[in-house]
Structure 1
Amino acid sequence: MARRSHRSIPKPPQIFDRDWEWSELTAFVSDEEPGPRLAVVSGRRRRGKSFLLEALTEATGGFYFAAVEGTRAEALSLLGEEIARFTDAPVPLRPQDWTEALELLFDLAAQRPVPIVIDEFPYLVRGDASLPSRLQRAIGVRAGRHLRRHPRILLCGSAMSFMGGLLSGTSPLYGRAGLDLVVHSLGYREAAKFWEITDPRLAVLTHAVVGGTPAYGREFVDDDAPTGLDDFDDWVCRTALNPARPLYGEAEFLLAAERDVRDRALYHSVLAAVAAGNHTSGGIASAVGRKATDISQPLTVLKRCGLLTVEPDAFRGNRSAYRIAEPLITFHHAVVRPNQARLTRRSNPAEAWAQSRDTFLSKVVGPHFEHLCRDWVSWHAEPDTFGGLPIDVTSGTVADPSARTSHEVDVVVRGAVGQDHGILLSIGEAKWNKVMDVRHLDRLRHILGLLASRGIDTSHVRPACYSGIGFTPALQAAAERGEVLLVDLGCLYGGA
């Protein structure tokens, strides 16, 4: 089948990064195939979805409508007014229902493919649950005047649980979308460039607070970025710990914005437990004082909302690790929430920060650095770094029966060597604030011995040490002999 042709649309200079997203969107809206087509664009709030779609409609002469929370009648009225403005109609249009409104939207693309963006689509469905069915019926008509019109409908929303189900098997729109695009946060290297931070240590610290969400580097902090390591503490106090700044309350808003969250206190306690280092369902349940069965629903909802991720243990098939997906939420529960009373009384945030900084380094930055190391393997390591193509990068737990303990492995790399897939390529340890020495390599060798005793092929394994500070001369000498791979901050951020 021949590839459909589409015209190239240059990305506007005001859009940072997002080359792949822009390419997918422009290919979708410029497709010359006759008839209506549907796309779904989702992603958590503040990631720049609306900014991206507004730029798309401006570049292509498309139509953009941002829904608001309100009744069905108000939504139809606002949409009619927006269509009238777009078409220069002398009077506002007054569609009586969504079937009529969709006809008006489709008419906008009578002559050419026209992007028609409906932002915050979940708001409209709350007002009229029949809207997805009506849209399905309109898109499904492949003859007559519908085939002669070329609307490129893009539904956008931030309610991840809703948007995730919009194209599921039980949805009227199942099988109707030609594009299902999730706008993720910026990668950690891209985030450093966005913040214009060149010091990799400062980049990690900043990313551990705000992650790669673009809005947190602009309007939420009034374009205030840390100017250097000596400014980082002051920056935290004047932004993330300042009740007058939007960044301060953002973590709570992210949870409150999800409709499926019922018992908000329980959900906050679950997130706080994960932020404190409890990553198994049993550990989380114990921390919140509930049975494991009592938190299964909150864990499921938080995963569906995109606020929690779950990663299978690399070495224990019946065990998974829950992690918070948004760094700002981890920071909030580890640092802001325990100090909320004093911070809201307008006390000096520097005092609260001084008492919380050690917690920040151990509970926030340390685990976050481990996550960045896994990201480096997945996205930035050279193809021959591990002697094979990395396919699966996780963490894991290895039992040590003779010592009656277990060992945590921060970075586990499995991949392909020739035709063989799933081969163990590397196990690694990550230390943010510690100079690593030969003892860390010895620990990895001991773990490899335990794995080999279980029948796991370790012949391709390359031990790795990841450090935020550096390595002793003895460990560097071991690396020169090819006994261990050393990864520092310069390597993580693309330096020599």
Structure 2
Amino acid sequence: MQKPQHVYDREAEWEALVSFAQDRRPGAQLGVVSGRRRQGKSYLLQALAASSGGIYFPALEVTEAVALRLFSDELIRFTGAPVPAFRDWIEAIPYLFEVVRDRPVPVVFDEFPYLVKASPELPSVIQRELGPGGSGASSTARLLLCGSAMSVMGGLLSGSAPLRGRAGLELVVRPFGYREAADFWGITDPRLAVLVHSIVGGTPAYRREFVRDDAPATRADFNDWVTRTVLSARVPLFREARYLLAEETEIRDPLLYHSVLAAVADGNATSGGIAGYVGRKSNEVAHPLRVLEDSHLLVKDRDLFRPTRTIYRIAEPLIIFYQAIMAREWTRLERGDAATVWRGSRGRFLSQVAGPHYEGLCREHAVRSDPEAGEVGSGTVADPANRTQIQVDVVVLAPAEHGRPRRIVSLGEAKWDKAMGVGHVARLRRARDLLAVKGFDTRDTTLTCYSGTEFAQELIAAGDRDVRLVTIDQLYS
């Protein structure tokens, strides 16, 4: 089954869906597709159903009775024959499995959390019919449950949930990688690509529906693009960051959750720092942190040199931009004063948004490009002699080997808007020496400088064999 031309990229996701939909083993099969909103899940599943003659049922926020009537309409379109009125899903699911028997057919329940909200027993009904003696035994339905409420979708197959152990496919549709995103936006200038990606990330809908294909033509056009799109109250992208949080069903106190995100966006990466920022005790922010992590809005990393230290970062660039730039100027932006707000915010944008985002892209580049990478992240190295700490932006560790010291492949520093010189290499070299004392294997460790602008001539001229210079062009090549 060929991927339709209108579906950009997503080759791996399409291959997984087609393989599941065409699985010829006997009995109904279950798959779960999840991912944050605007990533193109529905687009993919509609294309799959259309290409294979399947059933696509987009759920709505309605009562169970209305949902069952709408589901009956989809079955009528599929079978071309009358369908009985269902009293509940206990009748509907067996009937579905009964009519899908002759060939493997994908049956998509999109926005499945809406159905569960109205009918909490639905996962248990599906589990029973897929189990021994259930109606799914003689069916060829390839049932795909899809949803964007990540906390709900993540719970479908976890712990003691009814469907745990039943799924033959668990697919998460993620944003495009930074290279794919640049191509999707039609941007060939790497520096401009980083600036745009630091605001909208790799979410495909933000280009098509949310800004109506308005992409910055050149780097000189970037400032005007920001004011006419994400900072314009007339453009849907303007309020999107707020809606992302409101759509998660587990969130009961939006003010607290927005405050937690604001804390992380302002550079508070530990639970203690976040608690202090929002004026709560550490145990009072533990639940919001877990919910935001389950919702894929926060990511929990560990300091690679201090494994007990947990670091939080925001997964969605648009939320970082909103918290750092928009939230504090919301009233003026709603009045249409985007140009003035942006002029006063560009310094904060570089330090709190573009700079940290570039560091993340450098770590992603290390994952892609270094064949020895077993683990990539960041780390903090204590320097007792100088009473300071050295923050290493990009740490590449080789895979752990039992009974041997952990080998450090690379230590890297990333600078978005500053020329890098010999001083940056000296910091990395000092960190390498300190880590060697701590028992790490640093004999072949490379010191890597990632520059978003340029390298000082003295650094280039030095030509040190243990130093690698990575330009922004190399990130996109």
Scaled to the shorter chain, the TM-score interval is over 0.9
Contact 1:77 1:94 survives alignment (8 Å): yes
Shift of 1:421: 8.5
* Matched residue SS, 1:337: helix
Is residue 362 of structure 2 the alignment partner of residue 373 of structure 1? yes
Q: Distance in 2 between matches of 1:92 and 1:132?
A: 22
Q: 1:148 to 1:294 in 2, by over 3 A?
A: closer
Shift of 1:432: 0.2
Contact 1:47 1:213 survives alignment (8 Å): yes
Partner of 1:131: 122
RMSD of Structure 2 on Structure 1 (CA)? 1.5
Amino acid of the structure 1 residue aligned with 2:161: S
Shift of 1:285: 1.1
**Percent of aligned pairs sharing the same letter:** 53
Contact 1:29 1:115 survives alignment (8 Å): yes
Is residue 457 of structure 2 the alignment partner of residue 473 of structure 1? yes
| 1:205-236 Cα distance to aligned partner (Å, 9 max, x none) | 00000000000011000111111101111111
What pairs with 1:24-423 in structure 2 (closer than 5 Å)? 24-89=16-81, 93-141=84-132, 146-346=136-336, 348-379=337-368, 381-383=369-371, 389-416=372-399, 422-423=406-407
Partner of 2:2: 10
Match of 1:489 among 468, 472, 475: 472
Q: Distance in 2 between matches of 1:390 and 1:117?
A: 38
Contact 1:122 1:157 survives alignment (8 Å): yes
| 1:260-286 Cα distance to aligned partner (Å, 9 max, x none) | 111110100110111111111111111
| Unpaired runs of at least 5, structure 1 | 1-8, 384-388
Contact 2:405 2:439 survives alignment (8 Å): no
Contact 2:375 2:399 survives alignment (8 Å): no
Q: 1:465 to 1:178 in 2, by over 3 A?
A: same
Moved more, 241-250 or 207-216: 241-250
What pairs with 1:422-461 in structure 2 (closer than 5 Å)? 422-461=406-445
Contact 2:35 2:174 survives alignment (8 Å): yes
* Matched residue SS, 1:317: strand
* Matched residue SS, 2:30: strand
Q: Distance in 2 between matches of 1:81 and 1:336?
A: 44
Contact 2:405 2:441 survives alignment (8 Å): no
TM-score, normalization by structure 1: 0.94
Q: Distance in 2 between matches of 1:47 and 1:173?
A: 25
| 1:42-100 Cα distance to aligned partner (Å, 9 max, x none) | 000000000000000011110000000111111111111121122223x5642111021
| 1:161-216 Cα distance to aligned partner (Å, 9 max, x none) | 01011001211001000000000100000000000000000000000000000000
Shift of 1:422: 4.1
Contact 1:49 1:183 survives alignment (8 Å): yes
Moved more, 128-137 or 419-428: 419-428
Q: Distance in 1 between matches of 2:32 and 2:405?
A: 33
Q: Distance in 1 between matches of 2:195 and 2:225?
A: 11
Contact 1:83 1:93 survives alignment (8 Å): no
Contact 1:415 1:421 survives alignment (8 Å): no
| Unpaired runs of at least 5, structure 2 | none
* Matched residue SS, 1:279: coil
Shift of 1:471: 0.7
Amino acid of the structure 1 residue aligned with 2:80: D
* Matched residue SS, 2:375: strand
Contact 1:84 1:93 survives alignment (8 Å): no
| 1:392-447 Cα distance to aligned partner (Å, 9 max, x none) | 00001111112221111100100149997842111110000011011110111111
